[in-house]
Each structure stands twice: as structure tokens, then as C-alpha cells.
Amino acid sequence: MKYRIFLCISVLFFVTISISPAETVLKEASFMPQWLPQSQFAGYYVAYEKGIYKKHGLDITIIQGGPDTRPVQMLEEGGVDFVTLWLSTAIRENDRGKKIVSIAQMIQKSALMLIAKKSSGIYKPEDINNKKVSLWGDIFQIQPREFFKKFNLDVTVIPQSYSVNLFLRDGVDVASAMWYNEYHTILNCGYDPGELTTFFYYDYGLNFPEDGLYVMEDYFEENPELCRSFAEASLEGWEYAFEHPEEALDIIIKYMEAAHIPANRVHQKWMLERMKDLMTDGSSAKPSGKLSESDYTYVSNCLKQSGLVNCVPGFSDFYKGPVK
């Protein structure tokens, strides 16, 4: 079947190091984004391709993520040094005893959203009552459940897979979506924005900052400089990607084609543009990479209240990234 055959294809990229007596030896490390190559991770691939990691003294190997990879497990087992995770995932993993720390918070605003068709009669949150809503599992359900609670909605939850076909075929009234991904997919299945009603959790005060960079605490203790260099180089990679979007798209599409996944340039362009919206405040192309303590506290409390976690590390124990 379609998804059965998405095998974990890990592609190792070896960096040829120009050996010169005057240069210091690059420090080796590996990195794995939590999903297949796409513009969501453009900054890292650009930093790699444009030699930004090398410039920071790093010899980085990028391991391809995907639906069948388990980043936290790989981190714990030492299969990879750096991964991207959602903040909520990272907090929960800590509760489960995985000592991972954040070295940069990339996405500042939650891109998670609900989408409904206006033809279903849904224009405002209250209209979702008694409707069929498809949700992704696990931590993707925390924000929607808070949302339903907030508006006192009684809904039928249908598990949502990787596609939005069930929604497109009217199997459900409301579907989950990432702003930078599924929303644009739906537009490119022929729906006009005016035909859709969107609910951004961020707009309803349910902001869960998403992608961040994580390492094992031990690794960070041993290589604090390397970790900081990696975070800084990654931020620079993003800056370069936002400033040179076409070049960044060329790079990311090259990786997508190498991974045999459908590469749709306009979709990747949309995703890259949304990444910029989600990572930067608009004043600069370079993301701050900072995790705000209030966001951390808010997400932690939500997780605790929903019973997903019991114990939350202190902010300074959890966050080792850039500060003011």
C-alpha cells in the first residue's frame, strides 16, 4: 500500500573536508529533521549546502527523517546528535525520562489549524458543534481539545491520516491542517480561500510553538560550544534561505527528488514563505531562535492539565538556547 512502502531511507551525506594544515579539524555531528525533506527544514539543508556549518567548524551529516523514524529514540540511542521536535513533544519526552534540552526554538507561532468548508455551514467556532472533525493523534490533539473546551463544542473525532482526502471527499466536516502544508494542499485541490473557514489556534490564544532544535542533556554538557555553533549556523541557514528563496527551493527540491517524494515547487515555496512568517517577527530575515518562558510555561501547563505529563523541568534546565 501507499504508506507501507514509505520505508525509512536514510541517506548519509559525507562531507569532504579539505585537509589543510592551517585549518582546525571540523567537529563531526549528525542531525535529523523530524520529517521528510521539505521547506519546513529548508534552513538546515541550505546551511549544509552553502557551507555555513563548515564555516562554524562543524562537519554535519543530515539524516533523512520521515514517518517511520523515531527521533527521540535515535537521540537516546546515540544514532543522531541533533533533532528537531515540537516543544510539546520535547516536554512530554522529558516527563518520560528522556533528558533532552532545547538549544533553539525555531517556530514561534503555532501553524496548527482547523479547516472547514463554508458549504458545510461552518463560519465560526460554534458552528463546529456536532460535526465530524478529523484530528491527528497524540500531541496534535492537545490544542484542538483545548479549543473544543473553550467553545464548549461536542464533536465526533475521526482519526486523521497523512492526507486530507477524507476532508476533500466530504468524509468529515472539519480537518486538521498545518498552515504551511495541508492548507495549501487543499487550495491546490481546487478550493478557493473564500470557500474555506480557517481556525488558527494561535488566534484563539492556544499558541504551541512548534519546531525547535534538541539534543540529549549529556551531549550538551559535553559539547556546549558545538551545540551553540550548530544552533547559530542553523539560524544563519534559515536567514540565507529567507533571503534567497529560489536558491533555497532549488536545494530543497533536489533533496526531495533524491528521496523520491513528490516535489511541487509552488507548494514548497508556500511552505518556505510561511516558515518565515512563523519564525521571524518580520523585522529581520534571521529567526531569533529563542524560546520565551511564557510560551514554555503555557505549553507545560496545558500538557499537565490534559494529563499528558506529570512533571515538567524548570525553564533553565530545559532551555539552553540563545537568550537576550
Binding site for another protein (CB under 8 A): 1-5, 68, 132, 158-161, 163, 165-166, 168-172, 187-190, 192, 260, 262-267
Q: Residue 45 has which C-alpha cell?
A: 539543508
Q: Residue 67 has which C-alpha cell?
A: 514517518
Of 185 and 207, nearer to another protein (C-beta) is 185
The whole-angstrom separation of Cα 37 and Cα 82 is: 16
Minimum distance of another protein from residue 230's CB (angstroms): 30
Of 265 and 290, nearer to another protein (C-beta) is 265
Minimum distance of another protein from residue 260's CB (angstroms): 7
Residue 271: is it exposed, middle or buried by C-beta count within 10 angstroms (0-12/13-18/19+)? buried
CB contact set of 214 (below 8 Å; sequence gap of 6+): 75, 82, 83, 84, 85, 90, 100, 101, 102, 103
Of 118 and 150, nearer to another protein (C-beta) is 118
The whole-angstrom separation of Cα 43 and Cα 322 is: 17
Of 121 and 159, nearer to another protein (C-beta) is 159
Minimum distance of another protein from residue 297's CB (angstroms): 33
Of 159 and 205, nearer to another protein (C-beta) is 159
Q: Which residues pair with 198 in a beta bridge?
A: 115
* 76 neighbors 216 (Cβ within 8 angstroms): yes
Q: How far is CA 44 from the centre of its chain?
A: 12
Minimum distance of another protein from residue 242's CB (angstroms): 20
Minimum distance of another protein from residue 132's CB (angstroms): 7
